[in-house]
């Protein structure tokens, strides 16, 4: 997906995040550019924009704080989370289709990059209405997690070793009719949840060495 990179003037460089276990979804509670959010957050005494990504109503996705740095978006839970903010106030508004589609694509991208992550709302952690009663959270979460994988090449980096092991052991064989150029099955039709489960079982030693 296309992520628009911006150059920000940081008050200081935040600490690095040591782990990533959750994506937290927010709304901005108003309209504005990513530069305006950065300016407001600096004015609050933060190093700069506290969110790692900012999704505008147009569907444009901007990078905010670098992913490897601890954000400032969910009190007491920033050390292991990625903050994604959607422009708008979803206590009053409905999300435009372009923004929704961009959100699904971004969350799916993060799941593919970091592996099995929780997808939560700001209000799941702190006393807030964010991201608003009209935020399409369940639909976005479900659709982002619905990605299906047919080939080894399509698998997220974190899942590829487990899937390859199971293919080599002939545990995953697909229909046996379609093969990729390396001779591995090309019609596995695995959901993201199934891929996660396979990796969890592998880490537990259920598939041997």
Query: pLDDT digit string (tens) for 126-165?
Result: 999 999 999 999 999 999 988 778 889 888 889 999 999 9
- Is the predicted pLDDT of residue 53 greater than 90, yes or no? yes
pLDDT at position 26 is: 98
- Residue closest to 157 by CA, chosen among 120, 190, 109, 102: 109
Query: Residue 159 is encoded by which pair of tokens?
Result: 């899942």
Burial grade of 15 (CB within 10 A; 0-12, 13-18, 19 or more): exposed
Residue 69 has pLDDT above 90, yes or no: yes
User: Strands 148-149, 190-191: parallel, antiparallel or unpaired by DSSP?
Assistant: antiparallel
- 82-95 residue pLDDT tens: 999 999 999 999 99
Helix (H, G, I), strand (E, B) or coil at 105: helix
Please give the C-alpha separations between residue 53 and each of 14, 27, 101, 176, 191, in angstroms, as whole numbers: 16, 11, 15, 41, 25
pLDDT at 145: 83
For the cut 80, the answer to whether the pLDDT of residue 209 exceeds it is no
End-to-end CA distance of the chain: 35
pLDDT value at residue 80: 96
* 47 has pLDDT over 80: yes
86-95 per-residue burial string, b: 16 or more CB within 10 A, e: under 16 = bbbbbeeeeb
pLDDT mean across residues, the chain = 93
Kind of pairing between the strands at 61-63 and 53-55: antiparallel
Q: Please state the pTM of the whole predicted model.
A: 0.76
- Give pLDDT, residue 175: 80
164-199 tens-digit pLDDT? 999 999 889 888 778 888 888 888 888 888 898 999
Query: For residues 101 and 140, what is the distance between their CA atoms, to the nearest angstrom?
Result: 8
Contact (CB, 8 A) for 68 and 39: no
């Amino acid at each position: 997906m296309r992520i628009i990179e911006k150059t920000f003037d940081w008050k200081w460089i935040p600490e690095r995040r040591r782990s990533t276990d959750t994506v937290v979804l927010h709304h901005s509670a108003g309209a504005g550019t990513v530069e305006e959010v950065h300016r407001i957050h600096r004015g609050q005494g933060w190093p700069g924009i506290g969110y790692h990504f900012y999704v505008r109503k147009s569907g444009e996705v901007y990078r905010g704080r670098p992913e490897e740095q601890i954000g400032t978006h969910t009190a007491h839970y920033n050390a292991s989370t990625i903050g994604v903010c959607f422009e708008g106030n979803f206590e009053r508004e409905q999300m435009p289709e372009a923004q929704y589609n961009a959100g699904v694509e971004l969350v799916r991208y993060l799941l593919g990059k970091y592996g099995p992550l929780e997808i939560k709302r700001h209000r799941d952690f702190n006393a807030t209405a964010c991201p608003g009663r009209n935020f399409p959270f369940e639909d976005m979460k479900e659709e982002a997690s619905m990605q299906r994988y047919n080939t080894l090449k399509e698998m997220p980096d974190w899942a590829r070793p487990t899937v390859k092991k199971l293919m080599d052991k002939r545990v995953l064989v697909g229909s046996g009719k379609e093969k990729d150029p390396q001779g591995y099955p090309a019609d596995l039709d695995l959901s993201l949840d199934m891929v996660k489960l396979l990796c969890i079982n592998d880490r537990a030693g259920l598939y041997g060495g």
